[in-house]
Amino acid sequence: VKLLTIGEFARAAGLTPKAMRLYDELDLLRPATVDGESGYRYYQPAQLERARLIAWLRQLRMPLATIRSVVSLSPEQAAAAVRSFMTSVLAETAHRQRLADLLVDYLSGRDTAMPEISIRYAARTDQGAIRPNNSDAAYASDTLLAVADGVAGPAGERASAAAISALRDCVLPGESLLTALASAVSSADRAVGASASSSGQSGDGESVTTLTAFVRSGSQLALVHIGDTRAYQLRDGELLQITHDHSYVQSLVDSGELSPEEAASHPQAMLLTKALTGTGSAAADVSVHSVSAGDRYLLCSDGLSRVVPSPDIRSALVAAPDPESAVDALIALAHAHGAPDNIACVVADVVTR
Amino acid sequence: VKLLTIGEFARAAGLTPKAMRLYDELDLLRPATVDGESGYRYYQPAQLERARLIAWLRQLRMPLATIRSVVSLSPEQAAAAVRSFMTSVLAETAHRQRLADLLVDYLSGRDTAMPEISIRYAARTDQGAIRPNNSDAAYASDTLLAVADGVAGPAGERASAAAISALRDCVLPGESLLTALASAVSSADRAVGASASSSGQSGDGESVTTLTAFVRSGSQLALVHIGDTRAYQLRDGELLQITHDHSYVQSLVDSGELSPEEAASHPQAMLLTKALTGTGSAAADVSVHSVSAGDRYLLCSDGLSRVVPSPDIRSALVAAPDPESAVDALIALAHAHGAPDNIACVVADVVTR
DNA sequence: TTGCTCCTCACGTCACGTGAGGTGGC
DNA sequence: TTGCTCCTCACGTCACGTGAGGTGGC
């Protein structure tokens, strides 16, 4: 068998001599023999297969530490390792893509010189007719609109209040939408975690809450959303739901296993697939929207959206002359349908001035 | 305006103090003032917007050098820069994904212990009835099946021969499919380039050729393909075209602007969208296939596939008792259709032994 | 006094690329 | 002799993380 010098071997394997010296040192690919006097490295042709696999994995940008373990696996296991590595690469790329899309939306909105707008708003929660307490929360200000629906019990009550309070603190004058996009969810989640640990007593339920909120800067709104509270936009008389419920029944609807009509009366309608739990694992939906004068926005908890059909919600929003009367009308509608759950409602009008 | 210390500012912006000291040094984000005695850095709240943009771009893993230019752009231009950066990120990820898929296919095939197989083959080219010379090439051995169709003229003749010769040299015993996948196309392309520069005389046409080839290792075939030469698989009496033409008419068919029937008689049927040109820019299709005993493979140039309808090709392949008679029958068929172009044909049977 | 923040080196990480300066074989 | 390859340092790249050792203000 004719041995190859490092240069010949490197060319055949698609590596550089420099890289091969590193792999020698790292014990990843040792030369067959090393000349005692000159220090020349010599490789066997049979080592090419391993070298080429390493070169290939490096082209995938797999770290050398990972490659070291992959090359010692069976072909089948190695294939699985490559697949799993690429899965994580693709997941990371998708994450970067989402962040980039948000940034592009934000930057694009920056540039359009809009007429000065402001908002008029009303926020209210209602205990409903059945529940013994109220774990919904609602808040509205010139820069923040938010509703949160804590799970039943004192812990849920504290969680929804804490989430909204955290948002209020990070939406200060001079702060930009970038902050809201980057940190609103995680700081709300931390606040929920803190509200849980400060409870002192166990047995008062789970510290879990949904959160749907708009942070406003000029004519741009950043929407953060997790759980089954909802945001709607009323524009030109059309009602558009702009959030997607993180709930078990919604996932059944998405996969076609359930019709939207069946969903409303499903026995597990309350089951959430995502929520703020204070564990730092919150993956909320985030997006940027541009508003126009004349738009009316509604944020509400499922105490409204589950019991009042959306055509009725639309009619009430269209008919109400101002946010206060809209909120009153919607809560009255929920009571007309029995008000089996707490109700949170925020309505905001976009106006020029 | 209250100034912020580096720690406060870093927390607000989502950066680390360490990173901010680096950005200071790089002139990317300078403190508003630096205390002359202590060296403490102080930042203005108004700098948060820029800091957050930098933090966001770093989350996208944009290099600092690029970020430096992006932050000086208008929001609209910055959005375009982010989009273009992500486009290149996605392209690179897609490339890694293709490489990973190939590697997984290769590794998966390695593991399945197949019965020992070998191949019987025949290769032939024919000048046809019209053309004044033959710039097609065909080759078959135990480990390599290849056809190439050079553009008309002496230079094309040399190009097709050089491409196949280069493949023969890189398919040595002991070499693995990984080599073929990684380097076959580029070495064939280099050979085409060399054949052009060694011509000595200009005016003998372009050094351009198609190439369709199988490199075999055990029961695995690596397919490399560029241009409008084709590979077919005959399995269980079904004829399957396993290459996709890199031609202008095929792109029209793909986009639905042309039916497959119209394509055959299209006046620009010869126009290639990809070929080996010796310029190092060859982007061939590469894939890995597992063969079974009983399979029959056909590689051919458009001198066959353009003039003989594929049902007739199928019938001839089904009827022929061995590769030699299949090749003879196919070339006879091309002649029966006028043989307006050179014809290259390789047929190989997979057999157990 | 303790604990917190800030500072400036300076080394470690990752996987090499790129000389610098010198040797060995045709 | 020239040109080629090989060798071993050693520094540069990239964007920080992580101490080390010391200061300043409540």
pLDDT tens per residue across span B130-168: 999 999 999 999 999 999 999 988 999 999 999 999 998
Average the pLDDT over A187-199 and give the result: 82
Question: Among all strands, which nt has the closest C1' to A39 (CA)?
Answer: D7
pLDDT band at A112 (very low <50, low <70, confident <90, very high): low
Mutate to test the interface with A, among B57, B96, B101, B106 (most CBs of A within 10 A): B96
- Distance from the Cα of A97 to chain B's closest Cα (Å) equals 7
Which chain A residues 62-101 have CB under 7 A to strand C? 63-65
Written as one letter, the residue type at A179 is T
Which residues in chain A are closer than 8 Å to B59, comparing Cβ atoms?
96, 99
pLDDT at B114 exceeding the cut of 70: no
User: For residues B297 and A163, what is the distance between their CA atoms, to the nearest angstrom?
Assistant: 66
Would strands A144-149 and A136-140 be described as parallel, antiparallel, or unpaired?
A: antiparallel
Q: Which long-range contacts (CB under 8 A, 24 or more apart) does B108-116 make?
A: B108/A75, B108/A76, B108/A79, B109/B219, B109/B220, B109/B288, B109/B290, B110/A75, B110/B220, B111/A74, B111/A75, B111/A76, B111/A79, B112/B219, B112/B290, B114/B218, B114/B219, B114/B290, B115/B293, B115/B352, B116/B352, B116/B353
The residue among A219 and B69 whose pLDDT is bigger is B69
Q: Tell me: the pLDDT tens digits for A248-265? A: 999 999 999 988 888 877
Mutate to test the interface with A, among B4, B107, B178, B286 (most CBs of A within 10 A): B107
Element (H, E) at A241: strand A238-241
Tell me the three state secondary structure of residue B5.
strand
A189, A195, A201, A204: CA torsion to nearest 10? -70
Q: Inter-chain contact B59–A99, Cβ cutoff 8 Å?
A: yes
Radius of gyration of chain A (CA): 29
Average the pLDDT over B331-342 and give the result: 96
Give me the CA B40–C1' D14 separation in Å, rounded. 26
203-262 in chain A: CB under 8 A from chain B: none
Element (H, E) at B177: helix B177-179
Per-residue CA distances from B126 to B130, B139, B227 (Å): 11, 13, 19
Whether nucleic acid strand D comes within 7 Å of the CB of B27, the answer is no
Mutate to test the interface with B, among A87, A93, A102, A112 (most CBs of B within 10 A): A93
- Joined together, the tokens standing for residue B148 give 């190439």
Per-residue pLDDT, B172: 65
Q: Model-level pTM greater than 0.75?
A: yes
User: For residues B116 and A272, what is the distance between their CA atoms, to the nearest angstrom?
Assistant: 56
Per-residue pLDDT, B110: 74
Question: How big is the CA angle at B225 (ends B221 and B229), to the nearest 5 degrees?
Answer: 115
User: For residues B138 and B160, what is the distance between their CA atoms, to the nearest angstrom?
Assistant: 9
Which residues in chain A are closer than 8 Å to B63, comparing Cβ atoms?
none
Strands annotated E in chain B? 4-5, 33-34, 41-43, 117-126, 136-140, 144-149, 211-217, 220-226, 230-235, 238-241, 285-290, 296-300, 343-352
Q: Tell me: the pLDDT tens digits for B231-259? A: 999 999 999 999 999 999 999 999 999 88
Per-residue CA distances from A36 to A3, A20, A40, A41 (Å): 16, 18, 8, 10
Which chain B residues 33-72 have CB under 7 A to strand C? 38-41
- Expressed in angstroms, the distance from the first to the final Cα of chain A is 87
Whether nucleic acid strand D comes within 7 Å of the CB of B63, the answer is yes
Average the pLDDT over B324-341 and give the result: 97
Per-residue pLDDT, B270: 84
User: For residues A8 and A23, what is the distance between their CA atoms, to the nearest angstrom?
Assistant: 16
> Considering Cα of B74, then B76, then B79, then B84, what sign does the dihedral take?
negative
37-56 in chain A: CB under 8 A from chain B: 45-46, 48-49, 52-53, 55-56
- Expressed in angstroms, the distance from the first to the final Cα of chain B is 87
Per-residue pLDDT, B76: 92
Nucleotides of D under 7 A from a protein CB: 5-8, 14-18, 23-25
Q: Tell me: the pLDDT tens digits for A114-172? A: 678 899 999 999 999 999 999 999 999 999 999 999 998 899 999 999 999 998 887 76
User: For residues B152 and B131, what is the distance between their CA atoms, to the nearest angstrom?
Assistant: 9
Residue count of chain A, please give it.
Answer: 353
**SS3 breakdown of chain B: % helix, strand, coil, rounded to 5?**
45, 20, 35
Question: Among all strands, which nt has the closest C1' to B11 (CA)?
Answer: C5
pLDDT at A113 exceeding the cut of 70: no
pLDDT band at A199 (very low <50, low <70, confident <90, very high): low
Q: Tell me: the pLDDT tens digits for A274-330? A: 999 988 777 899 999 989 999 999 999 999 999 999 999 999 999 999 999 999 999
Tell me the three state secondary structure of residue A52.
helix
Mean pLDDT, all residues of chain B: 91
Per-residue pLDDT, B218: 84
pLDDT at B336 exceeding the cut of 90: yes
Per-residue CA distances from B250 to A236, B261, B311, B337 (Å): 47, 11, 19, 22
